[in-house]
Structure formats: structure tokens, C-alpha cells
Amino acid sequence: MAQETKRVVCEYCKGYCRVVAYTENSRLIKAEEDRSYPLVDQIFPPTKACVKLRAAKEIMYHPDRVNFPLKRAGSKGEGKWKQISWKEAFGEIAEKIRGIKDKHGAEAIAGTKGTFRTRNFMPRFFNLLGSPNSSGQGKICAGPISEVGAAMFGWPLGRRGYMDGKPKSVFLVGANPAVAWPRVWEPVREMKKSGGMLIVIDCRRTETAALADLWLQPRPGTDIALLLSMAQVIIEEKLYAREFVEKWCYGFDKLAERAREYPPEKIAEITWVSADKIREAARMLAKHSPHYSWNGMGIEQQQGTIDALQARFILAAITGSIDVEGGNYLPGPGKIRGISQIDANDRLSPEQKRRQLGAERFRFTSLPGFDLILENTKRVWGRPHQEQTMGASAHQPTLYRAMLTGHPYPVRGMITLAHNPMVTQANTKLVYKAIKSLDLYVVLDYWLTPSAELADYVLPAASGWERPFLAGNYGGEQAVPSSIPGEYDHKTDFEIFRELGIRLEQEKDWPWKDLEEVYDYWLEPVGMSFREFMDKGGYVSRPAEFKKYERMGFATPSGKAELYSTIFEKLGYDPLPKYEEAFETPISRPDLAKEYPLMLITGGRFNPLFHSEFRQIDSLRRRHPDPLVQVHPETAKSLGINDGDWVWIESPRGRIKMKCQYFDGIYEQVAHCEHGWWFPELPGEEPWLHGVWESNVNVLMDDDPDHCNEKSGGWPLRTALCKIYKVKQYSQTNGRDDYKNKISQTRRQFIEPESD
Amino acid sequence: MVQEIKKSVCYFCKGYCPVLVITENGRLTSVEDDPSDPGLNTIFPRTKGCIRRRAAKEFMYHPDRVHFPLKRAGERGEGKWERISWEQVFDEITKRLQGIKDRYGAEAVAGVKGTFRNKSFQTRFFMLFGSPNSTTAGKICYGPLFAVSNAMFGWSGGRYSFPGGHRVVGGVIPKCIFLTGTDPLESWPRVANIVRESKKAGGKLVAVDPRETWLTKQADIWLQLRPGTDTALFMSMIHVIIEEGFCDTDFVEKWCYGFDKLAERAREYPPEKVAGITWVPADKIREAARMLGQKKPFYTWNGMGTEQLHNSIQAIHARFILAAITGSIDVEGGTYVGRPGKMRGIDDTCATEKLPPEQRRKQLGADRFRFTSFPGYELIAENTMRVHGRMPPGEPTATASPHQPTIYRAMITGQPYPVKGLIVHAHNPMVVQANTKLVYKALKSLDLSVVMDYWLTPTAELADYVLPVASWLERPDFMGDYGGEQALPSCIPGECDHKNDFEIFRGLGTRLGQDWPWESLEEVFDYCLEPGGMTFKQFLKRENQGVPVIRYKNYEKTGFATTTGKAELYSTILEKLGYDPLPQYEEPPETPVSKPELAEEYPLILITGGRFRPLFHSEWRQIESIRRLHPYPLAQVHRETAQGLGIHDGDWIWIESPRGRIRMKCQHYEGIDRRVVHCQHGWWYPELPGEEPWLHGVWESNVNVLTDDDPDRCNPMTGGWPLRTALCKIYKMKQY
């Protein structure tokens, strides 16, 4: 019996913990924390406590996993599949892509991608194919933070940079690292222990907010106003870092002028945060700077996301918290190459770039803005700052509309890479129609998700255990084979795009035969092969260098930290942040609020589930079997809803049902719905689609381009109107109740009045 | 406070009980049984004990009822509605109907109707419109019984074939009863009463049913057959009766046609061989045949169990042959064939004769399923006109009707021609029509869909217009031998604005230039009563309503109204239509015998449609007091079968057929064969959202998702779809 241990990077959440995988005869037996990984103790909760990791074997060998390429055997959505070989799959898909390209142009093929479950070779394939329409979740997930950072400071602010110094305070906006970011949460705990301040902005009293020294609870969607008002206090009270501002900031005066429009007294009304508290927060932040600041999806997914991020970064800049010890580190490029250097962005012709869907309207996180930033980052750093699907993706709502209407041009084919748009894309009803209208839909996934159920081809993806990993400065080995004859035959996205590419005249452009060769290429600048890198521990530390701007300036058009963004200006947008009421609130739509009086927010993370994953994993699902909506007890009681009742949540776009959870850490006017819900245990064929219509919050959310962020096109997941009411039930669907008594009672009632 | 008491006829089930409606200031207070009704005690369970009757007020004023005409305001199925006036309804719909007619021909508009909730003026409308494509559920609901009786005996007693006529007032209690595929306690209160009375008087009862029911428990002999094999069983009983000399030789010689050929055919069905087909032991087949033979004449009737088989016509034919050769036809204690009454009925207002022959020929499915469509109807009508001067009994929408599965296919494919418009009349095809997935696609493809109903049913949710219909409480009624007044106004300004189907079809028809000489339902009833020299008002005042005049052995005077003048055991009409003139058993299309390879995946036989109180078809799910008594759908599975699959009594299970899957609660039931599963029909959930994809939970537990309506699998003579035999598998529902 061959036993092996391998060092692997776990991809079950955003922690990317390094773990040790134990295998026997090429089968995964268990996975444990890797104590040899230098940063292992900077993760909290610790890797060893992770229930997802403990479920690794269950996930890897789950009977529902897609193990071979599947081809649709019935009509679309009928749940009938035929197993085919990879050769057939590649041949047929490539032919169909060629057919669409010949008929409608390469731009008629789109790509979507979820949060990392695969490496990301999609942009390379699409750029070489000639289509500008590959997209990721970047518009609502870390794309904004990356691109605003790059526009203002010439590089995205680092996630882990502050670990190189001790911040005096941590400022978190719409983030709950206690649940979602184990690598952020441990340093926060450290900082607290050493007497630092934790300031949290969140409209819910999250696990993180509960531990804050100061918690500001704004009305959902008003973060920009709150942040600008804090800037106003800091400027007015001259609490800012004068030297850094004068020497290294661009546009301070114009900012000061803008900030004057946001006095705390006025903003208190907008945000529901008292003027005193705004002042207190501003003073605390200024006093305890340099500070480390971080935001979560709470602001990335707002309608005003770009302005909110800009305002947050302005606070970091004017308090002198940029690229200093204990502040927000600007890492710059490492020596090791990454995906952004092989995305073949430059191979896409300018005229095809101009055809990117949504780029004309949402210019900032699409190719126009991306290319403007690239000019600077390439000039100063010699490297792109970001990969294309994060920083410059096509606009998904526009893509889906093009599929449906053929405008501005037809989109007839789509490849979905480890993504589940039927669950995680806003406005599910529209997404559904769009996907159903396609001529070709290919899904690469582990499971037959609701999206995969609508596909023509479902390709079984290799998971993190079945491929090597390299990102930034650390990596992991492949623990188990991705193919065991007769048992399963998975492939990585690299292999899939390479094989498709080879069949579509991209042969010369895929010089690497496998992922390890790609990694060898990435590691070339440090003079190591991937094997050597892993033999040396699979991790290289990068010594921090602070205040790099003093040496090379900021990689921006002005060479300074641009509070006033010349890139925004060039793209035709307001160069400074500005608060605007979101499209669907009781203030912007008082008419609608009469019928839908509550504000709906969604997306707060909850363990042990992750996005739309793990619903089929018994050991995890049993810990969280039902979707929950958090409602303030007073609100719920006034509607006759008990804790634990099933309720309908209805928005102007549809309704879903969830279990009501009494939660007094939320405003009485706000309801929070969990995201990512589908029910793998329900049938896959239509109309079930694994219960995608039951409790999927995106049925309620809007993606109308008119309501998206005007710069990025991000769709507003954090503000909508809704109402809730109790689900009428004649009996519990679970539990065996007394139906026999009911039948005999019926019989008695019918027959008894008769006297014989 | 103005209190009033009106006599009325309750339509909440097939009992049609005469009732008293008590109102206060024009509002319903309660519905009571009518102590003055001479038929009061001919109903069991008694009207007095009826839970549905008690829920009348809840039904009448239910907040979910459709009270005003609705027009679709969003996309089809989006659940968005706009209230409009009746004027607008009539103008817009007639314009759109005319538009379809101009472009595609009148046949491009179809009509479908459910079991009686209205009088039936749909037929007249369609005949005058020029479309042959108006139909009911009749192909699977007493259309076969009527048509076979009409073909064999030249007339059919229909409801009146109950012994002694409609009710047993002073009538004859049969000494022997033979009932197949029915459990009258749940569905036919008048038949249940006959069974009870007969048993009390020492009568014998033979019941045929694959499930144990109230009836089979009363039976002296219960034949628990394999679903779908009724024809073989009856033919074998015929064989025994002939072989053992139980025939009524006089009647057979004088009045039956084709006995020798029948005897020859019956010889193919020796009990030993048939036992293998039907799972009924040979001895039991003999015993049952002998009991009928010895106790003749016997009364016989069948329920939907027999009507909804792939073999329906053959089985009913064989059942009537059993009655005929034992001399149990049109005699005291037997099955009444009857003759036309003096009065006219709604059937006589249908204007069938106005539909031109070239339009008749376009009737969908009529070329293939010729017996209960125009070809068969016309052959039968020749005989009834010749002998009785009247068209055949039974609604033409049942006995001269197009084939619904063919209509839905025409909507989807445009073959053999496009069908673009549909009027649905108190019917819920999304729930009660087989093969829901196909019906759904068809309904979604229409240019115009009009639904007349009380509720926003799953079908109504897919309509362009939903028209609020007056219930029996809001219209006068005439049942041929009894009737009722209008008890409640159908329109209360600001509250409701219902119309009865006569008013609706007349409203549409007159705007299309059709001939509707009567202005109100009362005038129609006056017309019906004219031959008796009475007005409807006078009729209502008459004492002793509902006691029909029974005259046995009418054939001795006129002969049977058939081609040969005899009771046709060997049907010359079936022969002329190109069918086998004698019953012949055929294995249904989807059984472990006909599809052994499919049975490997789907090992169980699925039957459906057994009636259960207090629900009725797809109704009552939104009426609290009723629904609480029966909150969820049940699938009956033999305890041992269920336990073998790890399924406990009361567990939710999936039932899957080759066409789809649904979930129901499993009821361990020992009164069913281990190889058979029975699913309740009619399930949807009004409490779930109406908009798509919910459609009030129509995909959750609706057994018709599982049933088939493929024309290749329908009864070759009628096109009736096989609801009582399909293959399925069951498994436990995973729940966290």
C-alpha cells in the first residue's frame, strides 16, 4: 500500500491554507494543517479547526460529482446526459465555437468565471480567439478594490501588507473577516491584543463588529456619505498627515471642497449614524494612524462601490497610511510571474477590444480603464497590475441582454468556468432566459449545478487536490491523479483551454504542455523550476520595502497618490467621490416602498458554506441545513412571524422563501438574506433545476444596467426593497404527522351525521 | 334583515344534491339539505354530513376567488393582472378570435372543458364559430360509457342507468351488483346508497378493483386484478357464463346480435390463461361469473378505473356484454338503457348540425380516433334519429370531440394545422390533463388563451384573460327532472362581477354574429321545458320533482336504435369504423409485460385517480376547512414494498416515471398489490406563488407529470389516454 503525503493549497475558501494531504494508493485519505508553512499561525480560525477541510474526502469522492465529460442527451434542461470522451468533447466544442465565430464573429462567444476554483486561463484563450467578452466576478468582487487602488496609487493595495508592521488601528468597511477572511482576522486579533483600535462600518452587528471599539451602523448603501463625512471632519479639524498630503497627494484642495458638502449633521440623516459618532470615528482613525484598512463585499457590491472605495482610500491617504509600516502596503510586483503575464491582453486587436460588451458605458473596470492603468503600471513597474477578468471584464448584465436581444450584437455561445450564474448572478430570471437562448453553453464544474443543468456540455474540473498550485509567492503540489481509468477523468482549466485552443489555431500560443511547465515559466525569473520551488518549501518571503514612492513615485499619471483621479477624469467620470442615493431605497422610490417597506441586503458570509458550494456535502450541510433571513425581532413580531418560521421575501422582481432568524443586530427596516442557496437534493431537470427558484436571493436582486455602478457596471446587491410574509403551510413537509387520523376524521365527519 | 331560503342544486361533487340555500340580505349564510326532497335518503353519505356543503360560504367569499375579469399585465405566466370590464373582455376577445379565424381558419381555436361546474354552452359557441375542436375531459370520463352504450343499445341511460332511474325513490333494490373500477363512497353518493340498500336487503356484490376500498370491503367477491387487465377479466367471465350456461337464452336469441362470434372470441379467454394475465385466480373468475349468472339480472356500473384505461372501450364493451347476455339490460334490477324524455336538454341547444361537413372533417384526431369523434357520432346519430328522432345522448363535446393530446401537439408543432387560440372552461389542464410538461409547452405557445374559472389555477396563471364564473349558487339550474333557483346575485357592485357560462359564451357569440335566441339561462330552460308545456318558473313550483318516469323494455316497442335493431354484442358501428367489433384484450403500452426493459428501471405499476374525500379533482386546495383535513398528497404503497426501500409510513417520497418525477407522502397501505403504487390526482398548491416557475406548485405533486398522453399509447378507438397504467419507481426524498 503506497502512502504519500503532499503539500497542497486548499481552495475551499479564501484562506488558501497550505495543508498536508495524505494519500494511499493515489486516493485521498485525509488532509491536515501544514505546520511547515511559515504563515500557518497567521490564520484564524486555525486551519486545523476547519470543518470544510475535514470534509475533503467526502467532497473529492462524492457520488454526485461530475467525473466524466457529459453531453446533453435530451432537450436543454431535461436532465438527460450522455458520457463522452474528452476527445469528442474538445472536437465538438471547438467545432461549435468555430461555427459561431464564422457566423457572428469571435465576440459572439462569451466566458464567465466564478471565484477561484480553477486557475484562470480563460482570458488567454479568449484573447487569442479574438473575443473581448470573457468576464469574471471582478465587477463585484475585488475588481473594484484592485482597480481603484491601481488608479489612485498605481498598484492595488496589498491584502496582507500590514503584517509587516503593527498598525495602530484597523478600519474595516463592510467586511466580516471573523467569518470570511481568516488571514485578516488573526492579525486583527493580534492588533487588538496589543492595544490597537478596531473601527468597523457595517449595517449588521457581525461577529467582527461585535468586537469593535467603535461600530458605525449605517443605513445600507450610504457608505460613501459616511466616509466622505469622516474625511470632512479630518480635513476641517486638520487631523490629516500634512507632509504626505502636500508632497504626495494630488487634488487635495478639490477634495476638501467636495468634502465640505458632507458635514456630519447632514450626513447623520442620510446614514442614520449620529454626527457625534461620525466625528468620533474620524478623530479615532486620525489619531490611531497609520491604520490598516480593508473592505469586504459589503461595499464592493453597492451601487456606489467605486466612489465608496475611493473615499475609503482617501481616508487612508490623508492619514498617511499608504505604503508605510502599519498602514496599507503597496506591494508592487513580485519577481515571480503570474497569470496576468500570460493573459495575452496585447493579442486582442484594438477593434475587438472596442467591442467588449458594456465597455462603452462602464469604462473603468473594462478594457478602456484597464488599458489606461496598464500604461502607468507597465511604465513604472514593468508589469501589469492585475489579471484581465478581474480588472477588465465584459459586463455580465450586458452580456445576458445581448444573448436575449441580439443587441448591440448577438452572443450565441458561452463557456462558464467554475461559476454558477443561475445562483450567483443577479436577476436570475433574466440569466435563465439568456442561458436558455444560447446555441452553445459549456460549463466546467465539479457538480451539476443549476447552471450546468442548462448546459450542452458539462466538463469535469480537477479540484485543488488534483493539480499543482502556484500563486504569488507560494504553491502546492498535486496530491492525487486527476484521472483514474474507470473511476473519474477530470481536467484542469489549463488543459481544457489548451486543448480547445490547439483545435482553434492557437497551437503555437500554448507552448506549455501542463500546469507545471506554466509554473516553471513563472518561476524562471527566480531561477527555479516548480519542483525545486516545492522542494525548498513552496514559499518564498518577500521582504517589505516601504515608501517605494519616494524612490519611484506613484505609478499614476501625476506620479502622486491621486485623491482626485485623473483616470476617472479621462474616462469622463467625476474625478472625486460623490454620494448618490441608490436606485431602490425608501428615499429614491417612496412609491415602491409603500408596497415593499423593508430594505433587503444580502451576501453576508456564513460558515461552513461558501458561496453556492457545499450544499450536497452531508457533514457540512447538516450544520447549516436551511437558508436564513435575518429580521429584527420587532419587525418579525409585528408581521406575526416567529423565530424559525419560513417566510416569503418578495422584491419587485420575484419572491423566495427562507427561514426567519430573529436578529437584533440589524435595523428594524432591514432584512438580510443569505446568498448562494440551491438544493442539490432536489431534481436537476426543469422546472426544478435543483430548487434554484426556491431560496436563491438573486431572484430578488436587480442587474439593470441603468442601476449598475456608472463606472464599473457593478450590480447593486446591497440595496433593494422587499417585503416579507409568512409562508402558508398546512403541514410540515418534514416529519411524519398524523395523516391517518386526518383521514379517519374526514371519514367520520362525512358519515357520522347519518343515523342508521 | 331579509332572510331567504332558496332551493338549489349543489355542484360540489357528482352527487348534485338538491339543497336549501339560506341567505341574509343577499349574502350566503349556509347551505342545508332539503328535507322536502323526495330523494333525500337516496344519497349516501347523506347531504347533511357533507363537509363541502358546510364550506360553501368559505368557497363563495374566499379572498382568492377571481371576482372580476382579469387581463394579463406582464408576460405570460408572470403573475401580473389588470382588472378590466366585461365590455372590454367581450370586445377584445372577439376581436382576437376573429383575427385567428381570419388568418388560420376557425379550427385554429380550440375549447376544453372540465367536469361539470357550469352548464355547457361551449359546444354551441364552437359549432356556430365553425370550429370542430371543442372538447371536454369526456374521452376519459363517461364519454366511453355513453358511446359504447349508444353503439350497442342505441341509447344510454347515463346517470339514469342507476337502477330505478336517477334515484331509488320507490325504485327497485337490485339483488346483485357488479361494479368495476369505482369506489362510490368517495365519488358517487347515489350509487353508494344503492350498494348499501342492496346489501341490507341481502343482495350480492361483485367488485373489481386493484385496490381495497369501502366497496371491496362490502363485496361478496372482490377481484383484485392487475391494473389495466379488465378486458381480459370480463372476457373470461363471459367465457364462463357462456360455457356454464348462465346466459338469458331468450334475450340473447331474440335481442342480441353477434352472440356466436362473441362465444368464439370468449373462448380465447379461459380462466386459467386469464389468471396469468390478471393476477386473479381462475377459481375466483369462475366464482364471480357464476354469482352474476345465478343472481341475474344484476345492476352494473363502472367508475373512472375502467374509463381511463388504455383498453377502456373494450372493457366497457365487455362489461355491457356481460349485462346483455345475462338479460340484465333495461329490466327491473338491471341497468336502465331508457329512451329519450319529452323535455329537451342542454344537449339540444348545441347546434351540432350547424357545423359544416368540411369543418367536421378537420376535427383533430378524428381520423385516427374515430369512435368518440364525429365519424362515430354520426353513425350512431343515424340510428338514434331514425328510431327516436333525437341526436344521441351525452354531450357532443364528449362523444363527438377532438382529441386533446392531438390538440396540444398541434399547438406546439403547427401540424396538421396551427391551433392558436384556446378557451378553457372550468378546467385545469395543467393539473388534470396527462403529460403536464407537454401541456405546459402547448399553453405557452398560444396566441390567445382565455380561462373561465373561480380561481387563478395553474392553467389560469398561463392565460391572457381570466373570466370570473358564477357558481351554482349564483345561477338557476335545470337537471332534466329537477332544478333550482338562483340563490345569490352574481354581481355585487364593488365586490364581485361573475357571469355564468351561458352569459359569457352568448356575450362572445352575439358579438361574432352568432344565433343565440335566448337572453338568459331561464329562457334556455323555458325552451327545454317547452315540449312539456311548462315554463321554468312553473316547473320549479312543481311537487315531487326528480322522480323520473321509468319504462323498462322499451326495445320491445321500438327495437334497439342500432343498425341491426338488436343489442349489438358484435358492434357493427365499430366494424364500420374499421375497428375490431368485439372486445379484445391488449396489453397496455407501459407495463412490466409490454416493456420489460423499462421495468428494470421502473419496477412498479403506477395507477392514479382513486377519489378521496373531501377533495374533488383539482378543487378545494385553498379552502382551509377542507384542506386541513387533507393537507398533502398521498401515494399508497404496500407496506412491504415501502419497507424494502427504507420508506416509513408518512415519509415524503419521489415517484418517478419515464416522464418526470413528483413528491408525495407515502401511505403504507396493505390493500394494494406489492407491485402497484397509487398516487392521488389533482394536486397543486394554491398557497404557493402563482407566477412562474412556481405556478402554484404545479410541478411538485401533480401526478400528470408522470402520466403519458402519446397518441400512440391512447385507446385506438377513442384516443383516451392511459391514466391507469404506467411504470414508476419510488425512493425516499432526501431532507436535511
Q: How far apart are the first and last CA of chain B?
A: 56
Which residues 556-615 of chain B have a CB within 8 Å of chain A? 613-614
Q: Does A655 touch chain B (CB under 8 A)?
A: yes
Average pLDDT in chain A: 94
Q: Which residues pair with B497 in a beta bridge?
A: B491
A198-225 pLDDT tens trace: 999 999 999 999 999 999 999 999 999 9
The confidence score (pLDDT) of residue A14 equals: 84
Mean pLDDT of B203-228: 97
Q: Does B276 touch chain A (CB under 8 A)?
A: no
Q: Is B80 helix (H, G, I), strand (E, B) or coil?
A: coil
User: Smallest Cβ distance to B45: which of A625, A626, A754?
Assistant: A754
Q: Does B651 touch chain A (CB under 8 A)?
A: yes
Q: What are phi and psi of A145, to 5 degrees?
A: -65, -40
A39-48 pLDDT tens trace: 899 899 999 9
Number of H helices, E strands in chain A: 29, 26
pLDDT > 90: percent of chain A: 87
A490-507 pLDDT tens trace: 999 999 999 999 999 999
The confidence score (pLDDT) of residue A161 equals: 45
The confidence score (pLDDT) of residue B93 equals: 98
* Chain A residues close to B197, C-beta within 8 Å: none
Average pLDDT in chain B: 94
pLDDT band at A115 (very low <50, low <70, confident <90, very high): confident
> In this complex, do B49 and A728 lie within 8 Å of one another by their Cβ atoms?
no
The confidence score (pLDDT) of residue A286 equals: 97
The confidence score (pLDDT) of residue A569 equals: 98
pLDDT band at A691 (very low <50, low <70, confident <90, very high): very high
> In this complex, do B629 and A746 lie within 8 Å of one another by their Cβ atoms?
yes
B159-201 pLDDT tens trace: 655 544 445 444 678 899 999 999 999 988 888 988 998 999 9
Which residue do the cell numbers 390463461 mark?
B273
Give CA–CA dist B509/B519, Å, rounded.
12
Lowest mean pLDDT among A38-52, A88-102, A653-667, B224-238: A38-52
Closest Cα in chain A, distance from residue B563 (Å): 46
- Hey, what's the cell of B520? 338568459
Closest Cα in chain A, distance from residue B690 (Å): 11
pLDDT > 90: percent of chain B: 84
Start-end of H helices in B64-177: 86-104, 122-129, 143-153
> In this complex, do A751 and B649 lie within 8 Å of one another by their Cβ atoms?
no
Q: In what order do the strands lie in the sheet with A291-295?
A: A214-216, A197-201, A169-173, A291-295
The confidence score (pLDDT) of residue A738 equals: 60
SS3 content of chain A, % helix, strand, coil (to 5): 35, 15, 45
User: Smallest Cβ distance to B650: which of A687, A727, A736?
Assistant: A736
Mean pLDDT of A395-404: 98
Assembly ipTM: 0.91
Give CA–CA dist B228/B209, Å, rounded.
10
Mean pLDDT of A275-299: 96
Instruction: Assess whether pLDDT exceeds 50 at residue A297.
Output: yes
> In this complex, do B48 and A753 lie within 8 Å of one another by their Cβ atoms?
yes
- Hey, what's the cell of B283? 377459481
Q: Specify the DSSP class assigned to residue A219.
A: P
B440-496 pLDDT tens trace: 999 999 999 999 999 999 999 999 999 999 999 999 998 877 889 999 999 999 999
* Chain B residues close to A433, C-beta within 8 Å: none
Instruction: Assess whether pLDDT exceeds 90 at residue B290.
Output: yes
Give CA–CA dist B481/A353, Å, rounded.
81
Give CA–CA dist B299/B149, Å, rounded.
15
Q: What are phi and psi of B223, to 5 degrees?
A: -100, 105
B388-443 pLDDT tens trace: 999 998 888 888 999 999 999 999 999 999 999 999 998 999 999 999 999 999 99
Maximum Cα–Cα distance across chain B: 73
- Hey, what's the cell of B174? 337490485
Mean pLDDT of A537-544: 88
Which residues 677-706 of chain A have a CB within 8 Å of chain B? 681, 683, 685, 687-688, 693
A592-638 pLDDT tens trace: 999 999 999 999 999 999 999 999 999 999 999 999 999 999 999 99
* Chain A residues close to B735, C-beta within 8 Å: 681, 733-734
> In this complex, do A751 and B628 lie within 8 Å of one another by their Cβ atoms?
no
The confidence score (pLDDT) of residue A160 equals: 58
Closest Cα in chain B, distance from residue A609 (Å): 14
Give CA–CA dist A417/A482, Å, rounded.
17
The confidence score (pLDDT) of residue A741 equals: 66
B508-549 pLDDT tens trace: 999 999 999 999 999 999 999 999 899 999 999 887 665 667
> Which CA distances in Å does A75 have to A72, A436, A449?
7, 11, 17
Strand B27-33 versus strand B18-24 pairing type: antiparallel
Q: Which residues contact A74 (CB under 8 A, 6 or more apart)?
A: A80
Instruction: Assess whether pLDDT exceeds 90 at residue B119.
Output: no
Q: Does B517 touch chain A (CB under 8 A)?
A: no
> In this complex, do A747 and B613 lie within 8 Å of one another by their Cβ atoms?
yes
- Hey, what's the cell of B510? 352575439
> In this complex, do A693 and B648 lie within 8 Å of one another by their Cβ atoms?
no
Which residue do the cell numbers 429614491 mark?
A588
The confidence score (pLDDT) of residue A731 equals: 66
Lowest mean pLDDT among A140-149, A632-641, B339-348, B618-627: B339-348
DSSP A295-326: E-HHHHTSTTHHHHHHHHHHHHHHTT-BSSTT
B33-72 pLDDT tens trace: 998 887 788 888 888 889 999 999 999 999 999 999 999 9
Residues B510-513: contacts with CB under 8 Å, at least 24 apart: B511/B90, B511/B91, B511/B94, B512/B94, B512/B97, B512/B98, B512/B128, B512/B129
The confidence score (pLDDT) of residue B49 equals: 87
pLDDT band at B718 (very low <50, low <70, confident <90, very high): very high
Q: Are B416 and B410 in contact (CB under 8 A)?
A: yes
User: Smallest Cβ distance to A730: which of B44, B628, B650?
Assistant: B628
> Which is nearest to A414 in space by CA: A96, A88, A692?
A96
Q: Does A646 touch chain B (CB under 8 A)?
A: no
The confidence score (pLDDT) of residue A734 equals: 45
The confidence score (pLDDT) of residue A737 equals: 53
Which residues 370-389 of chain B have a CB within 8 Å of chain A? none
Instruction: Assess whether pLDDT exceeds 90 at residue B272.
Output: yes
B312-341 pLDDT tens trace: 999 999 999 999 999 999 888 888 888 888
The confidence score (pLDDT) of residue A488 equals: 97
User: Smallest Cβ distance to B648: which of A683, A728, A736?
Assistant: A736
